[in-house]
Amino acid sequence: MDKAVSEASKSAVKVRPERFATGVGVLMATLGSAVGLGNIWKFPYLTGANGGAAFLIVYLLCTVLVGFPIMVAEQMIGRKGRADAVTSFKKISPKTLWWLVGASGVLAAFVIMAYYTEVAGWVFAYIAKSFQSGLMTTDATVTSAAFGQLVSNPWLSLVVQWIVLAVVGVIIVLGVTKGIEATTKKLLPVLALLLVVIGIRSLTLPGASAGLAFLFKPDFSKLTAQAIMVALGLAFFKLSIGMGAMLTYGSYYGEDQNIPANAARVVGADLAVSLLAGVAIFPAVFAFGFEPAAGAQLLFITIPTVFASMPFGQVFMVLFFVLTAFAAIGAMLSLVEVVVAFLVNRTKLNRTQATLVTVLAMALVGSMCALSNSSMADFKLFGMTMFDLFDYVSSNILLPVGGLLMAVFATWVWGWPNFKAALSNEGTLANEKLLKVVFNILRFVSPVLVLLILLTGLKIVNIG
């Protein structure tokens, strides 16, 4: 009996009633995935440190020639398969091994969430901290000590991560429309508003122009092979592509959804948020004479001192961390949904059970990152703590390889007639010329670029 049931569930294609309810919902959920910690703690600093406008040009090229086409292909595979990352490949290309791309995506969700939830946990903690006066100091040694106290406390690090996972888990249990769509629809407009308010505050400070110069002044001498790999990795990470998040969301798109048009809006809006974040952060940092720093240090040590230096700084600091938390939540929803959709489709677990299992497993894997600054600080592989290793491996290897394979699948395996039919909504959209361009970029340009950059970055191929 059991055997018969499992045989039946293997062959039967599960119906997936979940769909995003509205076009705005599709845009907001997808944008909610793209906009995240990447915009605030990765993009501005990486741009400033790798040559400003020069890096931006490379990043834009990566976005146009790799990011946008792969996002379109990935969403197309999802909508066609109407299932999670693994099942979609199995349905579109039965009896092949392409489902392994989806499987590696499910794993990648754990690798990314492991450190992402910890950074999000610090952000949550900083919302609470910014209500107290302890952080309102222009003395960086004090803010540095405060951050140190948080990250070096193993229990505290674990608890903030669990809180983050619990919040995300509750939204996921609510479902695709009532959870993901409803939340992102509410959070994103608030986020945009807060960002504009902080951006204006920062830009109107005396001496703000040095920050703009840091961000935008082109320095082509900084464009090394390493910097180009950073730009590519950032493009993948920023746009949530290469691991099945866009695929899973695509499976919730309606048949009448214009995938390329929606993807173009997402890519454009995400870039706008990143630039706004840069404009909100660096003019203020320079105006008060601080050094621009990397990642965590910028967000949790420098930023509080910057806010402490300005009138009504505490209000702005609360807003800033609330904004960052909103961004992180929308992004994490898409990461968790990859795993939950997979479990719901391929096991007997219902959505609530699947979410519970996923969140618990993520807490377990994530503890390695949460403890990277305390109990496990000396546990290193390839010279990196688990926190740094997971970050490096996901952005620079898992996502580019996944994206590369999706590009190859969409164009060389699935082919033009299917591609055109799927993305013109069976001929109802008059977008054949655009599709042809996207198809050819995906077929000839994106895979070669990704491969070259990967091999150069990993020092397998030497250019210059």
**What token pair was written down for 211?**
């920050």
CB of 41 to ligand TRP, least distance (A): 8
- The reply on whether position 39 binds ligand TRP by CB under 6 A is yes
Q: How far apart are CA 32 and CA 362, in angstroms?
A: 21
Among 50, 87, 240, 257, binds ligand TRP (CB under 6 A): 240
- The reply on whether position 38 binds ligand TRP by CB under 6 A is yes
Q: Which stretch binds ligand TRP (CB under 6 A): 236-244, 292-300, 345-353, 456-464?
A: 236-244
Q: Which stretch binds ligand TRP (CB under 6 A): 29-37, 48-56, 164-172, 406-414?
A: 29-37
- Give the per-residue contact string, 386-405, with ligand TRP (x = CB under 6 A; - = no): -------------x------
Residue appearing with tokens 């970050």: 391
Q: Which stretch binds ligand TRP (CB under 6 A): 222-230, 239-247, 316-324, 405-413?
A: 239-247
* CB atoms closer than 10 angstroms to residue 8: 9
- Give the per-residue contact string, 70-109, with ligand TRP (x = CB under 6 A; - = no): ----------------------------------------
- Give the per-residue contact string, 161-200, with ligand TRP (x = CB under 6 A; - = no): ----------------------------------------
Among 243, 273, 336, 368, binds ligand TRP (CB under 6 A): 243
- The reply on whether position 115 binds ligand TRP by CB under 6 A is no
At 327 the three-state DSSP class reads helix
Q: Which amino acid is at 102?
A: G
Q: Which stretch binds ligand TRP (CB under 6 A): 74-82, 194-202, 237-245, 434-442?
A: 237-245
Q: Site residues for ligand TRP, window 333-372 (CB under 6 A)? A: 334-335
CB of 335 to ligand TRP, least distance (A): 5
Helix, strand and coil percent figures for the chain, each rounded to 5: 80, 0, 20
Among 29, 66, 112, 119, binds ligand TRP (CB under 6 A): 112
* CB atoms closer than 10 angstroms to residue 281: 27
Do the Cβ atoms of 236 and 65 come closer than 8 Å? no
CB of 209 to ligand TRP, least distance (A): 27
Q: How far apart are CA 293 and CA 29, in angstroms?
A: 31
Q: Which stretch binds ligand TRP (CB under 6 A): 11-19, 32-40, 160-168, 431-439?
A: 32-40
Among 28, 37, 171, 180, binds ligand TRP (CB under 6 A): 37
CB of 153 to ligand TRP, least distance (A): 25
Residue appearing with tokens 């042809």: 436
Q: How far apart are the first and last CA of the chain?
A: 64
Do the Cβ atoms of 52 and 218 come closer than 8 Å? yes
**What token pair was written down for 233?**
């990795």
Cβ nearer to ligand TRP, comparing 39 with 372: 39
Do the Cβ atoms of 247 and 102 come closer than 8 Å? yes
**What token pair was written down for 190?**
């608030």
Please report, for the chain, how many H helices and E strands are present, in that order. Answer: 24, 2
Cβ nearer to ligand TRP, comparing 272 with 429: 272
How, if at all, do strands 384-385 and 380-381 pair? Answer: antiparallel
- The reply on whether position 36 binds ligand TRP by CB under 6 A is yes
The Cα-based distances of 198 to 55, 147, 328 in angstroms read 24, 22, 18
Among 28, 29, 34, 279, binds ligand TRP (CB under 6 A): 34
The per-residue b/e assignment along 195-232, b for 16 or more CB within 10 angstroms, e otherwise, is: bebbbebbbebeebebbbebbbeeeeeebebebbbbbb
Q: How far apart are CA 423 and CA 23, in angstroms?
A: 16
Binding site for ligand TRP (CB under 6 A): 33-34, 36-39, 112, 237-238, 240, 243, 245, 331, 334-335, 399
